[in-house]
Chains A and B, each alone.
Chain A
Amino acid sequence: MKIVVCIKQVPDTTEIRLDPATGTMIRDGVPSIMNPDDKGGLEMALRLKDEHGAEVTVVTMGPMQADAVLREALAMGADRAVLLTDRKFAGADTLATSNTLAGALRLLGYDLIITGRQAIDGDTAQVGPQVAEHLDLPQVTYVEQARLSDDNTLTVRASTEEGYRMLEVGLPCVLTVLVTAGKARYMSVRGIVEAFRREVEIWDSARIGAEESKLGLGGSPTRVAKSFTRGAKAAGQLYEVEPTEAVEIIVAKLREKFII
């Protein structure tokens, strides 16, 4: 089985601070990470590989620095990595991005395409579904679990606002996956060492053979009318513990802040 996972390098929004004077994001020194939903998708692909055997390819569109998330994916266990990079890709909205990805996916070949639900820097949740439309594939969005029920069918659990749906979908198809799909595995030390001895393939627009008018800024009908900043909120901490332990944690935190 050939699984292709589309991933994106994003600024770690939990680390972003806002300039109190202007209300704008301070990007300096903000680390870049693999988008959390994409990491959930990669973990899903690697679990399918562990269970059934598969070739897992990761692909990303971005500047040369995006190589970092591909190395991370290799260190986690991906088999092949492709970086789509070209000045002509710059300024792409979701439509131009999905066009570019679809072009690469046609060349790569696939039985299953996995994307994250949405990226934490854009929050559109459009790229995965658009890729499915370009390639004329069935799609299931907001997926939390996927199980191969026979050679050609996946049974998936998709999250909804009310609960979840269990669906069967034939291969090939596109899944957009949530970070909650499973705790992503750690990179292994040997994986890290080998990730830098392996090749990340660099593909430009010529290689994809895409129509130039559909790429980058020129291929992007989206116009940003207005952008605004939500109030800043520090990253919270989530504990799943018994009430007595929860009380201890809360009291300890209040003490730590000298509130009590």
Chain B
Amino acid sequence: MDFSLTREQELFLQMIREFTEKEVKPIAAEIDEQERFPSETVRKMGPLGIMGIPFPAEYGGAGSDNVLYSMCVEELSRACATTGVAVSAHTSLCAAPIWEHGTEEQKRKYLPRLVSGEWLGAFALTEPNAGTDAAGQQTTAVDMGDHWLLNGTKIFITNAGAAELFIIIAMTDKSQGMRGISAFIVERGYEGFEVGKEERKLGIRGSSTCELIITDCRVPKENLIGKVGKGFGIAMKTLDGGRIGIAAQALGIAQGAMDETVRYVKERKQFGRPIAAFQNTQFQLADLQTRIAAARLMVRSAAWKKDRGLPYSVDAAMCKLFASELAMEMTVNAVQFHGGYGYSREYPIERMMRDAKITEIYEGTSEVQRMVVAAELLK
């Protein structure tokens, strides 16, 4: 067992930290304030290979792995959770299912455009009446012989406003229940496919979250992913991978809030000494730092298992559960440490607290993660 970073990982951290410091951090407050998707950052990340880290060079990817990808999302999220989730949803929820379940033709057609960042990707499972109960899909896909005809509405779709490619989950045979669900690749330009209004949110306000309105949308036969009826399994496996990304995002938010808090408590003086000198500060921060270190090991261990083709669903659920609840607690405490300044929008802490909340909700709520862990434990 070896816990040390490889030289490749060290060099990558040097690069992604420099990139985050110079390109991501300076606009983090602005894109939150303006509720604006950071397209300019995506344009810069594409050529650097950040939009396709765990995919082979053969398809234009960086040829690295999920451990490095998790480090990337963590570092970006340390400064800007919006940028972190843009990379995570694109990589784990759109490019990954094509890479893992797609045909050779689908990979050749779509992966190069995704991993180069030319096209941003999104994934659409959630519907007004199908959230945690994902099997209750009302979007339908009907086999019309030479094409599929899709109809329905999706909501809360991350990246949607800026995405060119969507993985759409739809019911192909309602009588089959979960086994009647299939997954499709849908291009933004297909007739009958419309990206609806932008959701106005508490946090990750630069992230584009939209509804999708699908009306008699003709999707080519060859855009079915995997086999008919296998969509639910593909969606669940996709979310397993996505949870590593969101756990990394949550970890990054927690680390970012810790960085700010450490800097602040050393500078801020009350009762004649820095607030870092009070044992209450020290004990609280020590507990949180311990959990950050634990979360990081959990995230990297889940990513490591995925890279080796080992089962990792439970690991992904556990690291997402742990890291997201940590992000929430860390940021709430960070605001408290900052006092009035923490509540002020002059400081990044209130944004981090607003951003943290979603990590307990999307790609499976904390309750879903507990269900996954308990099901394995008690089987």
Across the interface, do B15 and A75 meet the contact criterion of CB distance under 8 Å? yes
Instruction: Determine whether B49 belongs to the interface, using a CB cutoff of 8 Å to chain A.
Output: yes
Which residue on chain B has the smallest CB distance to residue A191?
B49
Partner of B11, one of A72, A255, A257: A72
Across the interface, do B48 and A189 meet the contact criterion of CB distance under 8 Å? yes
Across the interface, do B11 and A189 meet the contact criterion of CB distance under 8 Å? no
Bound CA span A256–B269, Å: 12
Partner of A186, one of B18, B57, B72, B267: B18
Bound CA span A192–B268, Å: 40
Instruction: Determine whether A124 belongs to the interface, using a CB cutoff of 8 Å to chain B.
Output: no
Instruction: Determine whether A233 belongs to the interface, using a CB cutoff of 8 Å to chain B.
Output: no
Bound CA span A186–B61, Å: 17
Instruction: Determine whether B19 belongs to the interface, using a CB cutoff of 8 Å to chain A.
Output: yes
Q: Known: A188-B47, A188-B49, A252-B346. Contact between A193 and B268, CB under 8 A?
A: no
Digit string of A91-124 for contact with B (CB within 8 Å is 1, else 0)? 0000000000000000000000000000000000
Instruction: Determine whether B53 belongs to the interface, using a CB cutoff of 8 Å to chain A.
Output: yes
Across the interface, do B268 and A258 meet the contact criterion of CB distance under 8 Å? yes
Which residue on chain B has the smallest CB distance to residue A185?
B48
Partner of A71, one of B7, B53, B62, B72: B7
Across the interface, do A186 and B19 meet the contact criterion of CB distance under 8 Å? yes
Across the interface, do B15 and A192 meet the contact criterion of CB distance under 8 Å? yes
Bound CA span A180–B192, Å: 52
Across the interface, do A192 and B11 meet the contact criterion of CB distance under 8 Å? yes
**B6 partner residues in chain A, CB cutoff 8 A:** 196
Partner of B7, one of A191, A196, A252: A196
Instruction: Determine whether B50 belongs to the interface, using a CB cutoff of 8 Å to chain A.
Output: yes
Instruction: Determine whether B8 belongs to the interface, using a CB cutoff of 8 Å to chain A.
Output: yes
Bound CA span A259–B268, Å: 11
Question: What number of B residues sit within 8 Å (CB to CB) of A?
Answer: 25
Instruction: Determine whether A190 belongs to the interface, using a CB cutoff of 8 Å to chain B.
Output: yes
Min CB–CB distance A237 → chain B (angstroms): 12
Q: Known: A75-B15, A186-B18. Contact between A193 and B7, CB under 8 A?
A: no
**A196 partner residues in chain B, CB cutoff 8 A:** 6-8, 11
Q: Is the interface of A mostly helix, strand, loop or mixed?
A: helix
Min CB–CB distance B56 → chain A (angstroms): 10
* Interface bin, chain A: 20 to 34
Min CB–CB distance B84 → chain A (angstroms): 16
Across the interface, do A193 and B62 meet the contact criterion of CB distance under 8 Å? yes
Across the interface, do A189 and B346 meet the contact criterion of CB distance under 8 Å? no
Instruction: Determine whether B314 belongs to the interface, using a CB cutoff of 8 Å to chain A.
Output: no
Min CB–CB distance A45 → chain B (angstroms): 19
Q: Known: A75-B15, A195-B11. Contact between A190 and B63, CB under 8 A?
A: yes
Bound CA span A195–B267, Å: 41
**A193 partner residues in chain B, CB cutoff 8 A:** 8, 57, 62-64
Digit string of A226-260 for contact with B (CB within 8 Å is 1, else 0)? 00000000000000000000000000100111100
Instruction: Determine whether A187 belongs to the interface, using a CB cutoff of 8 Å to chain B.
Output: yes
Across the interface, do A71 and B269 meet the contact criterion of CB distance under 8 Å? no
- Interface positions of A (Cβ within 8 A of B): 68, 71-72, 75, 186-196, 252, 255-258
7 CB contacts below 8 A, A to B, read A71-B11, A72-B11, A75-B11, A186-B15, A189-B64, A194-B63, A258-B267
Instruction: Given contacts A189-B50, A192-B12, A195-B11, list 15 more A-B pairs with CB under 8 A.
Output: A68-B7, A68-B11, A71-B7, A187-B48, A188-B62, A189-B49, A189-B64, A192-B64, A193-B57, A193-B62, A193-B63, A193-B64, A194-B63, A252-B346, A258-B269
Closest 10 CB pairs of A and B: A189-B49, A189-B62, A190-B62, A187-B15, A190-B49, A188-B49, A188-B48, A196-B8, A193-B63, A192-B11
